[in-house]
Chains A and B, each alone.
Chain A
Amino acid sequence: MINLFGYRLSWAQLAWFGHRASGLGVLLFLFLHIVETSTVLLGPEVYDFTQTFYQNLPAKLGEVLLMAALVYHALNGLRVIAMDFWPSLTVYYRPLTYGVIAATIISMVPLGIIMTRGYLPWG
């Protein structure tokens, strides 16, 4: 149980909410990504200029957030698939949920460092 502003949230609720929030976030980026990639049809100058929008710290942090959303959505999605098709796994519901959250955080450490390379104080 997590206590958030007086609301008692279970990890189950948080996993559900996280799956939806990350999914909608990634979809929103997908719309943007199609618009941005469309400039590739306008030639090298235009496309290379569009890509400079990504070459700053706020954009890099956004990319890290996108990666975190995708990693969580993928891992939690695998948990959903596993438990939907093998209901006997329900017994391990709690460790699986904690495992997904822990694996997301742990994998984001090296990924975050690599992705923000060049913007870190020592980079």
Chain B
Amino acid sequence: MTTLRRPRVIYTNPSRAARPKPEASGTERFWWYFMRLSGLALVILALGHMFIMHVLVVLTGDEINFAFVQSRWGSPFWRIYDFALLVLAFLHGVNGARVVIGDYVNHRTARSLILGVLLVISGIWLVAGMAIIIFFDPSTQSVAGPLS
């Protein structure tokens, strides 16, 4: 009689669509949990954002322009929503890219170099993104921007 033998991988990496949970506690274990918890929040935040911008706006005949952003970021709720979405999506995405790079780039120097560049660029972009949400002034009535 043949007995069914399940591959060992099923128990160490149940989902088989992502990394197995790091054995040792520490930074890698933290990011493993972070990806799953931020992912859970992002299902609501990111899909909600896409649903508002590409379904509700279309169905209500609205248009995404300066006035739209003005009224939207005039409300603290949407500003906090967008800020949380930005930070979580960015950390989730950059950490994902870090894992992918670690999986495919075997050359040590090349890997450190690519990861360093990713980290520096991401840092600049994230700070810039946060600054946009924080410093945008919804009460600006001025029609003349610096470039117009």
Chain A interfacial positions (CB closer than 8 Å to B): 12, 15-16, 19-20, 23-24, 26-27, 30-31, 34, 37-38, 40-48, 51, 54, 63, 66-67, 70-71, 74, 76-85, 87, 89-90, 93, 97, 111, 114-115, 117
Q: Are A84 and B36 in contact (CB under 8 A)?
A: yes
Instruction: Say if the beta carbon of B80 comes within 8 Å of chain A.
Output: no
Interface of A is mostly: helix
Chain A, Cβ-Cβ closest to B42: A74
Q: List 27 A-B contacts (CB under 8 A).
A: A12-B17, A16-B18, A23-B93, A24-B96, A26-B93, A27-B93, A27-B94, A27-B97, A30-B89, A34-B86, A34-B128, A41-B136, A42-B147, A43-B142, A43-B143, A71-B47, A77-B43, A78-B39, A80-B18, A81-B36, A83-B14, A87-B11, A90-B11, A111-B54, A114-B59, A115-B58, A117-B58
Q: Are B17 and A45 in contact (CB under 8 A)?
A: no
Bound-complex Cα distance A34 to B83 (A): 12
Contact of A76 (CB < 8 Å), options: B17, B65, B67, B100:
B17
Count A-B pairs with CB separation below 8 Å: 136
Name which of B69, B128, B135, B145 has the most chain A CB atoms within 10 A of its CB. Answer: B145
Q: Which residues of A contact B64 (CB under 8 A)?
A: 51, 54
Q: 4 tightest CB-CB pairs across the interface, nearest first?
A: A43-B145, A27-B93, A44-B66, A83-B15
Instruction: Say if the beta carbon of B148 comes within 8 Å of chain A.
Output: yes
Chain B interfacial positions (CB closer than 8 Å to A): 10-11, 14-18, 21, 36, 39-40, 42-43, 46-47, 50, 54-55, 58-59, 64-67, 69, 86, 89-90, 93-94, 96-97, 100, 125, 128-129, 132, 135-136, 140, 142-148
In angstroms, how far is the closest chain A Cβ from the Cβ of B75? Answer: 15
